[in-house]
Structure 1
Amino acid sequence: MGSYEPVAALLRGLDVLHCLNERGPMAVGQIHDETGIAKPTVVRILETLTYAGYVMMQPGERRYAVTAKVLGLSNGYEAQSHLLSVAGPILERHRQAAGWPIELGIFDADAMVILDTSRAPGYLSVNTKPGSRVPLLRTALGRAYLAALPESELRMVLASLESKPGPDYDAARAPKALLSQLASTRKHGYAMADTESPLTNGRAVACAVVYQGRPVASVNVVVHMSAMPLAAFEREYGHSIKELAAEIGAAI
């Protein structure tokens, strides 16, 4: 915990910027519906972001969109850039063999952030794209990463999630069951998820990408639930997802 209270206005501004970056051009009312921030406050935030050059109003419309300046906010992520450059060719090769979407994600406080995906817009009910945040505890991608953490770090992460509201964090409030699930993940070497989020109709198997003994990302394969039974999916992709994660880790 920091020495000072967080700056509420800055947090609201970041919420608006994240919303525009994630959802695309939006009107004030849409941003209000998505974030819960009062419309007058949304307008002031948008005017400030426009003045700073991060947002622009689309010509002829009352919708706002991010500008190319937001790309500068990620310049510090050299490690992620290296990870992407190394993993990209490997992911593409495995995608051609699998015939199903494969995603690479990294841990970010309370979620996994998608770095690379071959999922088409709207495919498997969720339009994930680079930069999208997916639930940490309700996805194979997230649980594979957590299972690879040292126990002390894992318990710190779960403690930080326990007080967060909403179903995405319910598992942190039942730690005994979650820790048992993560122990099973470690035993098998991969995590499974079966349509656990209300937004998806996909099944996934994921494995942590480990470098120098620590997880740095995780990678998954996702199929539509109608494609094959869960047991058949696990038999077909459980071993290959471990091979993919190990290949990326070795290439780093």
Structure 2
Amino acid sequence: MERSVPIRAVSRSIAVLKCINRHGSLPLMEIARHVNLPYPTTFRIIQTLVLEGLLECEPTRKHYRATQLVQTLSVGYRETGNLLLRTRPHMQALTRRINWPISLATHVGQTMMVRDSTHRETSLSFCNYEPGYTLPMLECASGHVYLAHIPDSDRLSLLGGLEAIDRRSHMLEMFKGEKLVRRIREDGYATCDRNPHSAVPGKTSSIAVPLFEGDRVAGALTLIFFSTAMSMAEALKRYVDELKSVGRSISLELRHDQITAQDSMVFPQPGHVRHRESGQKTMLN
């Protein structure tokens, strides 16, 4: 990566947008505190984003919130397959059985992003994690299980990017080797005790299993529980088999969808004959 990358002003602006996405409408002083930037720097970033139309100041108080224009940033993005559609019913059913919240996260850049969760559907949760909430890949169970199940070349490339942006860490070095990766693959899950980067740092722990779309890991299904409610060993004894079973069921459904989609491309629908050379369709009467 080039020496001039990352551009600090761009990184800070993105941090401000992420902060407002996580916490909702906030006063400028709170934004500065959350992103750990000086007040004048935060003020300039906010004013720039307001001029660009991505943020607006509430008319009745000096709180800043995102505008609908931010949605245009994702116009070119499409979810892969039926991941959300297939995962949602299983998440709800599992939360009804065990009461703890479940989240679905996928890889975005150097983070794992929450795509869906059942935090609102149980009282056993400190916060409601809305879609778009991001977690550092090396410091969450979903990130660990994702890193362990992607091809080795992809993992090393991703770790190289993380190392270029952030300082070297013990966890980064562990994922460069094979021992931790092999253990997670053999166990079929990853854990994070007393999550350091949740909305309530240190108060929750998590267990994550991979979700596959064919041979490709598509995301991670994570169970979150209060750290004071039980130890990680007890949580694994109670829930890991069921969590892995749900993960396998979702992966089977995604695989079935993938095969069905491939078959529909190979075999023409009734009433049509596809000519391979010309690519034209002819109606059968």
Task: Indicate the TM-score class for this superposition, using the shorter chain for normalisation.
Answer: 0.7 to 0.9
Give distance in 2, aligned partners of 1:128 and 1:58. 23
| 2:23 aligned partner | 23
Give distance in 2, aligned partners of 1:153 and 1:103. 24
- TM-score normalised according to structure 1 size: 0.84
Which SS does the other structure have where 1:156 is aligned?
A: helix
* Larger RCO (CA under 8 A, 6+ residues apart): 1
Count, aligned residues = 250
- TM-score normalised according to structure 2 size: 0.75
Change (3 A) 1:204 1:36: closer
Cα deviation, residue 218, structure 1: 0.3
| 1:59 aligned partner | 59
Change (3 A) 1:170 1:164: farther
Change (3 A) 1:115 1:179: same
Contact residue 111 and residue 135 of structure 2 kept, 8 A: yes
- Tell me the percent identity: 25
1:244 maps to a residue whose letter is V
| 2:250 aligned partner | 248
| 1:149 aligned partner | 150
2:181 matches 1:182: yes
1:115-145 per-residue CA deviation (whole Å, 9 max, x = no partner) reads 1122259966565332111232232211111
Cα deviation, residue 94, structure 1: 1.8
2:27 maps to a residue whose letter is A
Cα deviation, residue 83, structure 1: 2.1
Change (3 A) 1:174 1:248: closer
Give distance in 1, aligned partners of 2:15 and 2:123. 23
Give distance in 2, aligned partners of 1:122 and 1:68. 31
Structure number with greater Rg is 2
Change (3 A) 1:197 1:40: closer
1:233 maps to a residue whose letter is A
Gaps of 5+ in 2: 255-285
Change (3 A) 1:72 1:146: same
Contact residue 21 and residue 133 of structure 2 kept, 8 A: no
Change (3 A) 1:249 1:3: farther
The root-mean-square deviation of aligned C-alpha atoms, in Å, is 2.9
Give distance in 1, aligned partners of 2:6 and 2:204. 37
1:127-175 per-residue CA deviation (whole Å, 9 max, x = no partner) reads 53321112322322111111111111112222322354469x4311345
Give distance in 2, aligned partners of 1:29 and 1:122. 31
